[in-house]
Amino acid sequence: MARPRRYDPDRRRRIVDAALRVVGRAGLAGLSHRTVAAEADVPLGSTTYHFASLDDLLVAALRRAGEGFGRLLRDDPALADPTADLAAALARLLGVWIRGDRTGVELEYELYLAALRRPALRPVAAEWTAQVTALLARRTDPATARAAVALMDGIGLQVLLTDGLYDEDHAREMLARVLRPREP
């Protein structure tokens, strides 16, 4: 007699969270359906049921990982306030994100940069960039918003890759240069 199927509405989320932990600990090379199933404490078939391929799982993981900085931006009232110093607000938020859970930040970038070699991830990476650009475009034009996103990405990567300290004053100054209105 077959056992009744266990109702587990959070299983998909737990699998994605487990994938993030595996990648955070062992990098992309350590990711497999088997390692994720073990980490999530679910049967191997559950991972392949919810995610037919590792790329499908990575897409879900990248979406989840990318929520961190975007949420900070969406939740900060300074981005909606036309009188607030946008460069200062962005530099502060970038600092909050980078100084927060460093492993999480590294994981976000690792998954984001995995799109270089895994075409299935490119639309998600582009989505993330488009969402952040759209948030910033409320305060500036779209081209300037894209430039500010690129600058923040560059600053974040430099801090992570050099084990340097985040310099909020420098970030604010550079962002102010990019965000400065063009003179007629």
pLDDT tens-place string over residues 12-43? 999 999 999 999 888 888 999 999 999 999 99
Distance in angstroms (rounded) separating the CA atoms of residues 39 and 131: 31
- 50 — pLDDT class (breaks 50, 70, 90): very high
Answer yes or no: same fold for 11-63 and 66-179. no
Buried b (16+ CB within 10 A) or exposed e, 132-162: bbebbbebbeeebbbbbbebbbebbeebbee
Q: What's the CATH architecture for 11-63?
A: Orthogonal Bundle (1.10)
What pLDDT shows up at residue 39?
Answer: 94
pLDDT band at 103 (very low <50, low <70, confident <90, very high): confident
Check: CB of residue 128 under 8 Å from CB of residue 152: no
Domain boundaries, the chain: 11-63, 66-179
Query: Alpha-carbon distance 62 to 43, whole Å?
Result: 23
Instruction: Please name the residues in contact with 33: beta carbons below 8 A apart, sequence gap of 6 or more.
Output: 44, 47, 48, 51, 54, 57
* pLDDT bracket for residue 66 (50, 70, 90): confident
pLDDT class of 65 with cuts at 50, 70, 90? confident
Looking at the chain, the whole-number percentage of residues with pLDDT higher than 90 is: 56
> Taking the complete model, does pTM exceed 0.85, yes or no?
no
- Superfamily for domain range 66-179: Tetracycline Repressor, domain 2 (1.10.357.10)
Task: Give DSSP secondary structure letters for 28-73.
Answer: GGG--HHHHHHHHTS-HHHHHHH-SSHHHHHHHHHHHHTHHHHHHH
